[in-house]
Amino acid sequence: MTDQLPLLPYAGSSGWRGSEASRDRAFIEDANGTTSLRQRIALKRVWDQEFRGLTWKELGEIENIHAGQSSGVLSVLHKEGLVVRLKERRNRCSIYVAPIYVKEREVSPRNFNSSKDEICQEILALIITGKLLGTDEEIVADIESLLAREGY
């Protein structure tokens, strides 16, 4: 599965939060290999912890990355089904484990429906990357298709 990295589930992006700087950083890191490397490392770190698992805070400390980067990479890996988020917590943080190490523990479901904020980010990403092109009617159809896919 790691040969399919980077995972870019947000309209061809690993996602960003709020600011132009965050968006720019995401697109640069997705393009230059940083996202792929971070995903590979996070996946390995989660697997290495076996049943204990790993929190976003622990990953951040081990890899010397900020909270948004560690939380974001684990969220993408969870969204794409490569890791499982347990309902159990450690130090008020969610624990992520490899699927084979879940056992009988309760898990948090993967979020298949994006929030409205994420959908807006996906549409913006399509516009920025030039993937949302065509006549006004075609663009509206593409946006309606995206919204329908997400259940809106």
> Are both 59 and 134 inside the same structural domain?
no
42 and 12 part of one domain: yes
Asked if 93 and 124 sit in the same domain, the reply is no
71: containing domain:
2-110
Residues 105 and 118 in one domain: no
Instruction: Kindly state whether residues 84 and 125 are assigned to the same domain.
Output: no
Q: Whole-angstrom Cα distance, residue 41 to residue 46? A: 9
Show pLDDT as tens, one digit a residue, over the chain (152 residues).
556 788 877 767 777 776 788 788 888 888 899 889 999 999 999 999 999 999 999 999 999 988 888 988 999 899 888 999 999 999 999 999 999 999 999 998 876 555 556 666 666 667 666 666 677 777 777 777 766 665 55
Other Cβ atoms within 10 Å of 28 Cβ, number: 11
103: left (phi over 0), alpha (psi -120 to 50) or beta: left
- pTM of the prediction? 0.69
Cα dihedral: 9, 70, 78, 99 (round 10): 140
